[in-house]
Amino acid sequence: MKGVPILIAVALLVTSTSYGQQPQPPPQNGQQPNGAPPSDSPIEPRPRDVPPGGRASTPAQNVVAVPVPVAPPRPNGPIQKSLVRITATEVAPDYRAPWNAGMLGRGVGAGFVIEGNRIMTNAHVVSNSRYLTVERDGDPNKYQAKVLFVAHDCDLALITVDSPNFYKNMLALKFGGIPELESTVSAYGYPIGGERMSVTTGIVSRIDFQLYTHSSIDQHLAIQISAQINPGNSGGPVMQNAKVVGVAFQGYSGDVAQGVAYMVPTPVINRFLKDVSDGRYDGYVDLGITYGKLQNPAQRKFLGLKDDDRGVLVETVVAAGPCAKILQPGDVLLSIDNHPIASDGNVELEGERVEMPEVVERKFKRDNVKFDIWRDKQSTSGSVQLDTVPPYLMQSHKYDVRPRYVLYGGLLFQPLSLDLLEAYQPTDLRLRHFFDFYVIDQIYREHPDVIVLTNILPDPINTYLAPYRGGIVDSINGKKIHTMDELSQTLAEPADRLVIDLIGDGPPLVLDPKQVEGARERIKMRYNVVREQNLQELPTAKAPDLQTKI
């Protein structure tokens, strides 16, 4: 089940420095309807104390001499033989100049060796990376690494090193289960504060569903721990009794809340490992419905339900989701895969009461799920093959792909997305509405791409067009435009003039194709535009050679 995209202020845990005069992305604060105080934003992982172009260094004013402690017992064994330090050189796409390669940055995170000569880390440590190196304790060499699998929806990745020497003397870590509340765990990684491995300990504070801020739309189980984790801990193992019980991945920045850190727990890790076992990551599947509790006696009576605290009400069925074939609003779901659904939406799974979507969380693409349904006071049932629900991707962060855009006559057209909103920070009410209600109001059916005139590169041919900025394309020369491909094709068709209607009651935008053609080279030269359009979200980096033994 996808969460409402409320961005709680959570910092991604990777240190990173930008080179030279790279422009900093603007502070992100667009989607914080709950009034969370501004903080280190989820997309801006650069620590504040780092001088531009420099390495992270210990802030001198905070260094206080402390007595050297007696070496503590090491219940988790020689972690140095499993832990690695990952340095990623990344290029983040620039949605304001999408023809450019983007902003260069560097991040440091942690990872650990698991069976099969693989290294597990966070997706956000290796996202948008162009060059990855891995270092291990007591070895002066830097080994080049490559990404095997990356799962942006649960912030996990597997990477590997080709050099045969690398895995010599390395120990693959084993995974444990869900640690008990209040039990002690230790987090290992390379956080700011020094160069070498760091250990922090804490207890398990809470086990609950959380928003994973890397995609900023997915919610999965996460475990809150009181161990201090900081930028650089990302991807590092959290251990208990010599077994990995989680991967450190996100937390609040210090000005929001202290001592609140989260790790990806082993059920999520195991699901990821199982998903990639066929050589491909398919990702989480979703029912594509919303449902509500059925606790009101009058409503139960109206629906002809017994007073047995069972069933949830289907409210919205997303047409692009897998359930559209068998469910309709007003249906009552009585059971899922023969697990009875309580009227508050819980099911019992392996002796634990969990929310109904947990049944789907554990499944994979093309798995089936079966419902017992109560419709029009009749009992029925149905089964669907699970799949992803593509429209949700519009509201999530994207990585490792080039942004789509079309530049025509200096007018930059881009599809609406979370990344686009964060890049431009528009305040336009219509844009916000199209974004917020894209899935739930099924806007994607008419506008698979919500095409926004995001920017205008000034030129004599478009000098009067500035007021049209921020508009959403409705039609061109009377023809409705649904996708970026259609936009590109329609703009290329010969016409005496182009009349672009934007949604709303504004005036049409009128262009003379001959003038546009005449200005093409001039605009490309003046604004250093390498390519005038990109219609596919192609990977930005070369896909890894999967021949390697995994």
Report, as residue numbers or ranges, the catalytic residues.
124, 234
The distance of closest approach from Cβ of residue 289 to another protein in the complex, given in angstroms and rounded to an integer, is: 10
Between 293 and 365, whose beta carbon lies closer to another protein? Answer: 293
- By residue count, the chain amounts to 550
d(CA 74, CA 80): 12
**In this structure, which amino acid lies at residue 363?**
K
3-class secondary structure, 183 = coil
Among 476, 472, 455, residue whose Cα is nearest residue 506:
472
d(CA 211, CA 1): 11
Between 162 and 436, whose beta carbon lies closer to another protein? Answer: 436
Q: Which letter does DSSP use for residue 268 in this model?
A: H
Between 312 and 334, whose beta carbon lies closer to another protein? Answer: 312
The distance of closest approach from Cβ of residue 419 to another protein in the complex, given in angstroms and rounded to an integer, is: 21
> Which residues here bind another protein, judged by CB under 8 A?
290, 292-299, 301-303, 313, 315-316, 329-330, 429-430, 432-433, 436-437, 440, 464-465, 467, 497, 499, 504-508, 510-512
Between 55 and 377, whose beta carbon lies closer to another protein? Answer: 377
Between 303 and 476, whose beta carbon lies closer to another protein? Answer: 303
Task: Specify the residue for token string 């979507």.
Answer: 357
The distance of closest approach from Cβ of residue 516 to another protein in the complex, given in angstroms and rounded to an integer, is: 11
- List of residues 6+ apart from 20 with CB closer than 8 A: 52, 53
d(CA 414, CA 221): 34
> If 0-12 CB within 10 Å is exposed, 13-18 middle and 19+ buried, where does residue 173 land?
buried
Q: Give buried/exposed letters for 102-120 (b at 16+ CB in 10 A, else e).
A: bbebbbbbbbbbbeebbbb
Among 40, 20, 43, 74, residue whose Cα is nearest residue 421:
43
Tally of CA atoms within 13 A in the half-sphere of 436 that contains its CB:
13
The distance of closest approach from Cβ of residue 467 to another protein in the complex, given in angstroms and rounded to an integer, is: 7
Query: Strands, E, within 14-142: which ranges?
Result: 15-18, 83-92, 103-114, 118-121, 129-136
Between 58 and 295, whose beta carbon lies closer to another protein? Answer: 295
Between 43 and 294, whose beta carbon lies closer to another protein? Answer: 294
List the structure tokens of 546: 């999967």
> Could you give phi then psi for residue 502, rounded to 5 degrees?
-100, 155
Helical H segments across 362-495, by residue range: 418-424, 429-436, 484-492
The distance of closest approach from Cβ of residue 437 to another protein in the complex, given in angstroms and rounded to an integer, is: 7
d(CA 466, CA 469): 6
3-class secondary structure, 469 = coil
The distance of closest approach from Cβ of residue 448 to another protein in the complex, given in angstroms and rounded to an integer, is: 21
d(CA 342, CA 310): 4
Q: Which letter does DSSP use for residue 396 in this model?
A: S
- CA angle 463/465/466 to nearest 5° reads 95
Between 148 and 305, whose beta carbon lies closer to another protein? Answer: 305
